[in-house]
């Protein structure tokens, strides 16, 4: 069984959004067209409470894109984005949601960010996605979405480490590319055995 994992195709990551990924909206129709080829379609949704610890606004004197040390390791500080229930947190209007078997939300813990669809950024607290996939007998994953160098990268690397077969359709992703993050992400994914297609 093979699943399509659609990472964070939400308004805030598209042009006009709070953490817009350049050309993030261009991948939506291609993702919709791919959904029919899979036994399972899973959407992830970045879903932060207001005042989340990954927001620069929660740290006096810090600016978006500053790097800070958190108890679980280094953390990039972001503009406020994907606040629970907001327009920015909604999926892109044209993303086909009806076909989704599961929508998994992440980043709801106020103290820890969660780039990966599998674990929070402490790399130990699970989201439950692994159990869902295993109980359904899904062994192979194709990943698409936003952003390639953060949430897609972390999700793909974690999935490969957990033993899933993982392919990232890079044509159906877009990157933030912050201080070389795109190059680092490509190396991390390749090092973990992820196929970059
Ligand atoms: C993401 C930064 C902060 C992503 C989410 O979806 O790649 N990036 N939250
Ligand atoms: Zn986020």
Where are the strands (E) in 35-164, listed by range?
Answer: 40-46, 67-70, 73-76, 102-106, 140-146
pLDDT at 24: 97
User: What ipTM, to 2 d.p.?
Assistant: 0.98
DSSP H or E stretch at residue 195: strand 195-196
Q: 156 in helix, strand or coil?
A: helix
CA distance to 7, 127, 131, 136, per residue, from 4 (Å): 10, 17, 16, 14
Q: What is the pLDDT of residues 116-143, one digit of tens each?
A: 999 999 999 999 999 999 999 999 999 9
Mean pLDDT (whole number) for 6-35: 98
Q: How many angstroms does the Cα of residue 172 sit away from the middle of ligand 1?
A: 16
The whole-number pLDDT of residue 129 equals 98
Q: What is the pLDDT of residue 82?
A: 98
* pLDDT given at position 85: 98
* Catalytic position from the list 14, 80, 151, 158: 151
Confidence tier at 53 by pLDDT (50, 70, 90): very high
106 catalytic per annotation: yes
Share of the chain above pLDDT 90, in %: 100
Q: What is the pLDDT of residue 27?
A: 98
Q: What are the CA-CA distances from residue 176 to residues 63, 70, 152 (Å)?
A: 17, 22, 11
Q: For residue 73, give the 3-state DSSP assignment.
A: strand
pTM of this structure = 0.97
User: Which of 14, 80, 106, 113 is flagged as catalytic?
Assistant: 106
The DSSP code for 21 is P
Is 14 catalytic? The answer is no
What's the gap in Å between 3 CA and the centre of ligand 2?
23
- The per-residue pLDDT of the chain, averaged, comes to 98
Closest C-alpha among 104, 113, 98, 99 to residue 154: 113
- pLDDT of res. 195: 98
191 C-alpha to ligand 2 centroid (Å): 25
pLDDT band of residue 18 (cuts 50, 70, 90) is: very high
In the prediction, which pLDDT does 72 show? 95
| Residues contacting ligand 1 via CB (< 6 Å) | 8, 13, 46, 78, 115, 146-147, 150-151
pLDDT digits (tens, 9 = 90+) for 85-112: 999 999 999 999 999 999 999 999 999 9
Peptide bond into 147 cis (omega under 30): yes
DSSP 85-134: TSTTTSBPTTS--TT-SEEEEE--STT----SSSB-TTS-SB-SHHHHHH
Q: Residue 153: its pLDDT value, please?
A: 98
- Closest of 119, 173, 113, 123 to residue 143, by C-alpha: 173
Strands 67-70 and 73-76: antiparallel
Q: What residue owns the CA closest to ligand 1's atom 2?
A: 150
Element (H, E) at 171: strand 165-174
| 116 DSSP assignment | S
Residue nearest to atom 8 of ligand 1 (CA): 150
CB-proximal residues (5 Å) to ion ligand 2: 46, 107
Residue 145 forms beta bridges with which residues?
A: 7, 173
Q: Is 171 a catalytic residue?
A: no
């Amino acid at each position: 069984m093979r699943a399509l994992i659609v990472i964070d195709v939400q308004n805030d990551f598209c042009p006009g959004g709070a953490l817009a990924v350049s050309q993030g909206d261009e991948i939506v129709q291609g993702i919709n067209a791919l959904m029919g080829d899979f036994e399972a379609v899973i959407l992830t949704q970045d879903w932060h409470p207001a005042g989340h610890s990954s927001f620069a606004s929660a740290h006096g004197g810090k600016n978006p894109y500053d790097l800070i040390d958190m108890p679980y390791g280094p953390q990039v500080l972001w503009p406020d984005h994907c606040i629970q229930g907001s327009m920015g947190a909604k999926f892109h209007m044209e993303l086909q949601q009806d076909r989704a078997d599961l929508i998994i939300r992440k980043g709801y813990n106020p103290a820890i960010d969660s780039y990966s669809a599998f674990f929070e950024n402490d790399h130990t607290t699970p989201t439950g996605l692994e159990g869902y996939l295993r109980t359904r007998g899904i062994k192979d994953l194709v990943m698409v979405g936003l952003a390639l160098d953060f949430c897609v990268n972390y999700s793909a690397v974690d999935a490969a480490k957990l033993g899933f077969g993982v392919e990232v359709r890079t044509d159906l992703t877009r990157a933030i590319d912050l201080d070389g993050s795109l190059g680092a992400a490509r190396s991390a994914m390749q090092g973990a055995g992820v196929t970059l297609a």
